A and B are shown apart, each in its own frame.
Chain A
Amino acid sequence: MYQYDSYDQTLVDERVAQYRGQVQRYLAGELSDDEFRPLRLMNGLYLQRHAPMLRVAIPYGLLSSEQLRALAHIARRYDRGFGHFTTRQNIQYNWPKLEDTPDILAELARVEMHAIQTSGNCIRNVTADHLSGVAPDEIEDPRIYCEIIRQWSTFHPEFSYLPRKFKIAVTGAIHDRVAAQVHDIGLNLLRNDLGEIGFRVLVGGGLGRTPIIGQVIREFLPQRDLLSYLEAILRVYNQHGRRDNIYKARIKILVKALGAAVFRQQVEAEWAQIKDSGLVLDAAEVERVRRYFAPPPYQPDAAEDLSFPQWLKADPAFAAWVRHNVAAHKVSGYRNVFVALKEPGTPPGDITAGQMDTVADLADRYSFGQIRSTHHQNLLLADVRQANLYPLWHALQSQKLAAPVIGTLADMICCPGLDFCSLANASSIAIAQQINEKFDRLDYLYDLGELRLNMSGCMNACGHHHVGHIGILGVDKKGEEWYQISLGGSSENDVTLGDILGPSVPKAEVANTLERILGVYVAQREDGERFLDTFRRIGLEPFRTRAYAPGSNEAKQEEERYAIGY
C-alpha cells in the first residue's frame, strides 16, 4: 500500500499543528462558531446530537493492520470503545471530545492517517472498489489513480471553498461496486483500442434531496489528462455552481440546469487551456505510485491445498459462510473474505476496538497485513489462501464477525440516524434491529437471495436509500418517525433510482411491510430472479397493492388513489 515519504508526513504533521491552533483559537473565543465550522469540517469534525463526531479518512478504503490497531486505540482512549464504518469507506467516532481532537489527529498522523477533507465543501476522500487489485474482472487497479487524485486534491487552494461537497469514485473493473454513477464525478478505468489506459468520465450524479444519475461527458480521457480534466470540471463548478441555496449547490444541479452537452463544452473549453500545463500526469509518476500497490508474494501452490474442499463438505455452516462471505480472487488458490459488520443487534457498520484488534491480527496472519473497508459497510481481507479459510472463519466467528449474510437482506446499509446525527428525522439503527428481528432465519434470508436494503434517516441520503433494491427513508410527520419505502433502485452498472411505494408507514410497521413486499416477490419470482429482476419485470403495482396492512390508513389511502386514477 502507499507509504508516506517525508513530504507526505510533514504535511499531515503540519496539519495537526494548524488544526490544534484553530481549536485553541475557537476555545479562546477568537474564532466564531461560523468561522470555525468549515475549518473543523475540513478535518472531519461535526458537532452532533450528543457529542462531536469525528470522521477519519481511509483513502480508497485501504488500511494496514498497524493503522487498524491505531483506530482501535483511538476508539478506546477517546471514544466509547467502538467506531462506525461509512459507505464512503471512512470510519466515524461518535463520542470524542472537541478538546481531544487535535491529539486524535496526532495519533493518526503517527500511522500515516488523517481526517483531511472528510467533510466540508471540498473534494472528499476518493473511494474505490474494495476488490481493487484482486477482482477477477479488473482492467486496472483504481487505487493508483485514487492516490494521485488524493494528493492533487489535498489542500487544493482553489477548490477548498466549493459551493458544496464533492465526491469522486473510481472503478477499475467491469462491475461497478462503488456506486460511481451516483457520485459528483465517477471515473471508470478502461482501455482503448490501442490498449492505452484512460477513463470514462461521468459527472453530476448524486443522491440527497434530488437524486440524479451521472452523465458521461467523456468516453475516453487519456491517463495523462486525468488531473487537468478534473481541474477543468472543478473550475467550471467553482465558478458557476449555485451558492444561493444549499439544496441546489451540488454539481448535479449545475449539470442538469445547463444540460450535459453545454456543461461538457464549458469543461472542454477550460480544459483546452490547461491540458498541457504542469497538471500533465506523467507516466513515471503513475509507475512510482503503482509500485506501492504491487501484488503481495502469493504462494504459487495455494490452489493445491486439499483441506478447503474437505471442510466445505464436512461443515455446512462453514460452507454457508463461504458461499456468502467469500468472493472469488484473481489468483488461483486465494479468496476475498468479507468481515461482516452486520451482526444482528449491532448497528450496521459498527465495530468494537477489540474486534478491530482481532481483524488486524488476522490480517497479519492471513492477508499480508492489509484490510479494506467496503461501500456496504463491511471489512474485507483480500488475499486469504484457501487453506486458511477454515481457521479464519473460526476466528471471525468467535468475535461475531462471521454473520453469513453478505449480499442478503441483512447486509443493510444504514446511516447513524436519529441516534447520533443532528440532521436525521428518524432513527435508522432501530429499524435495522426491527428488520433483523423479523428476518432472523438464515434459510429465509438465503431464499430471498441477493437483496440490497439501504436505509437513510433523512433525505440527505447518507444511507443511499434511492439506490437500494429496497430503500427506506425516515421522515418526520408531526414529530413522529415514519418511513417511506422505495423499490427497484440499484447503484451498480444497471443503475436506477427506486420508485416510491406509496404513503409512508409508521415505525412499528416497517418490518411487517417489508414482509408483505417480500411475499409478493416470493410468489411472483421466476427461476433465479433476484428481487430487483422481479420488480423490473412486474413493476410497482403488485407490490403497492399488497404492501400495506389490510384496513390500515395507508391501505385506504392507496385504494383512494387507485380509485381516482391518481
Chain B
Amino acid sequence: MPSVIKNRAISEDRWQHLADDAELPSGPVIVSLARWRRDRATLQDRGEPVGVRLPNTVNVADLAADLPTLALVALEFPKFTDGRAYSQARLLRERYGYRGEIRAVGDVLRDQLRFMARSGFDAFELRADRNLEDALEAFGEFSDSYQPAADQPLPLYRRGR
C-alpha cells in the first residue's frame, strides 16, 4: 500500500484513485468530478467513503451542496507553480466549513507543503520520486505567520503580539 503524508505524519494510504471507466473496487475511492456526478447514487450506496478530485479550474461553490457526503476532496497541482488550488482549499475550509480530508495531488513537493497546509490541506500525495521523511521537515520550518489563513483565523498582531 502506498504512503501518504496525513496530519504531518507518514501513513499508509487506504484510498484508491479510480479512473472513470474502472470497475468499482471495495474500499474508499477517489473519483473525478464527472464520475461523481454520473455515478453518485452507486458510489454512495456502497457505504464506503468517497472522495472527489477537482480540477483547479472548478469553482468549489459548485460542489458545496455535496460536501457533507464527501470524506475527501483532492485538489490538483498540475505543476507545482500553478497555485490555483491554494484558493480552492481555503474556500473549502473557510467559506464552506469543510472538515473532511483535503488532499494535494499532482506535482506535490516539499517546498510548497507549508503553504498548502496553511491553506487547509491536511493530506499530501507527494510526487513518487520524493522522500516523505525529508518532506515532513517542511512543516517545522517556520514557527509563526503574519496573516490569517485556514489554519489560523487571526493575524499575528491580534494574537497578543
- Give the docked Cα–Cα distance between A288 and B112 (Å): 32
B156 touching A160, Cβ below 8 Å: no
User: Given contacts A10-B143, A152-B155, A239-B87, is CB(A279)–CB(B148) below 8 Å?
Assistant: yes
Chain A residues near B141 (CB-CB < 8 A): 14, 17-18
Residues of chain A touching chain B, judged by Cβ–Cβ distance below 8 Å, are 5, 7, 10-11, 14-15, 17-18, 21-22, 31, 35, 38-39, 121, 151-162, 227, 235, 238-239, 243, 273, 277-279, 282, 285, 288
B157 to chain A, nearest CB (A): 5
24 contacts between A and B (CB under 8 A): A17-B141, A18-B142, A21-B137, A35-B111, A38-B80, A151-B157, A152-B146, A155-B115, A155-B145, A157-B86, A157-B115, A157-B149, A158-B86, A158-B90, A158-B149, A160-B83, A160-B115, A161-B81, A161-B86, A227-B155, A235-B87, A277-B94, A277-B153, A279-B147
The chain A residue with its CB closest to the CB of B137 is A21
A161 touching B90, Cβ below 8 Å: no
SS class of chain A's interface: helix, strand, loop or mixed?
A: helix
Is B109 positioned at the interface, with any CB of A under 8 Å from its CB? yes
User: Given contacts A5-B161, A278-B155, is CB(A14)–CB(B87) below 8 Å?
Assistant: no
Closest 3 CB pairs of A and B: A161-B83, A157-B118, A278-B148
User: Given contacts A11-B144, A14-B142, is CB(A151)–CB(B81) below 8 Å?
Assistant: no
Is B6 positioned at the interface, with any CB of A under 8 Å from its CB? no
Is B114 positioned at the interface, with any CB of A under 8 Å from its CB? yes
Chain A residues near B112 (CB-CB < 8 A): 161
B82 touching A161, Cβ below 8 Å: yes
- Give the docked Cα–Cα distance between A235 and B109 (Å): 23
B147 touching A156, Cβ below 8 Å: yes
The chain B residue with its CB closest to the CB of A14 is B142
The chain A residue with its CB closest to the CB of B140 is A14
The chain A residue with its CB closest to the CB of B82 is A243
Given contacts A158-B149, A161-B82, list 8 more A-B pairs with CB under 8 A. A18-B142, A22-B111, A151-B156, A152-B155, A157-B149, A159-B86, A160-B83, A279-B147
B87 to chain A, nearest CB (A): 5
- Give the docked Cα–Cα distance between A71 and B96 (Å): 47
A239 touching B146, Cβ below 8 Å: no
Is B34 positioned at the interface, with any CB of A under 8 Å from its CB? no
- Give the docked Cα–Cα distance between A38 and B145 (Å): 20
A121 to chain B, nearest CB (A): 7
B83 touching A279, Cβ below 8 Å: no
- Give the docked Cα–Cα distance between A152 and B95 (Å): 20
Q: Could you tell me which residues of chain B, from 94 to 113, have a CB within 8 Å of some CB in chain A? A: 94-95, 109, 111-112
- Give the docked Cα–Cα distance between A227 and B148 (Å): 11
B98 to chain A, nearest CB (A): 15
A401 to chain B, nearest CB (A): 36
The chain B residue with its CB closest to the CB of A152 is B147
Q: Could you tell me which residues of chain B, from 40 to 96, have a CB within 8 Å of some CB in chain A? A: 80-84, 86-87, 90, 94-95
Q: How many residues of B contact A (CB 8 A)?
A: 36
The chain B residue with its CB closest to the CB of A156 is B147
B156 to chain A, nearest CB (A): 6
A11 touching B142, Cβ below 8 Å: yes
B84 touching A7, Cβ below 8 Å: no
B87 touching A158, Cβ below 8 Å: yes
The chain A residue with its CB closest to the CB of B131 is A30
B80 touching A161, Cβ below 8 Å: yes
Most chain B beta carbons < 10 A, residue from A162, A238, A278: A278
Which among B82, B83, B157 is the interface contact of A158 at CB below 8 angstroms? B83
Which among B95, B111, B115, B144 is the interface contact of A7 at CB below 8 angstroms? B144
- Give the docked Cα–Cα distance between A121 and B153 (Å): 25
- Give the docked Cα–Cα distance between A7 and B87 (Å): 26
Which among A154, A162, A288 is the interface contact of B157 at CB below 8 angstroms? A288
Q: Could you tell me which residues of chain B, from 112 to 152, have a CB within 8 Å of some CB in chain A? A: 112, 114-119, 137, 141-149
Chain B residues near A278 (CB-CB < 8 A): 148, 153-155, 158
A103 to chain B, nearest CB (A): 19
Chain A residues near B111 (CB-CB < 8 A): 22, 31, 35, 39
User: Given contacts A152-B147, A273-B95, is CB(A7)–CB(B83) below 8 Å?
Assistant: no
B86 touching A238, Cβ below 8 Å: yes
B146 touching A154, Cβ below 8 Å: yes
- Give the docked Cα–Cα distance between A231 and B97 (Å): 19
Chain A residues near B87 (CB-CB < 8 A): 158, 235, 238-239
A159 touching B148, Cβ below 8 Å: no
Chain B residues near A243 (CB-CB < 8 A): 82, 84
- Give the docked Cα–Cα distance between A279 and B118 (Å): 15
Chain B residues near A14 (CB-CB < 8 A): 141-143
Most chain A beta carbons < 10 A, residue from B117, B144, B155: B155
The chain B residue with its CB closest to the CB of A38 is B81
Chain B residues near A35 (CB-CB < 8 A): 80, 109, 111
Chain A residues near B117 (CB-CB < 8 A): 157
A230 to chain B, nearest CB (A): 10
User: Given contacts A152-B147, A157-B118, is CB(A239)–CB(B84) below 8 Å?
Assistant: yes
User: Given contacts A10-B143, A10-B144, A279-B148, is CB(A157)–CB(B82) below 8 Å?
Assistant: no
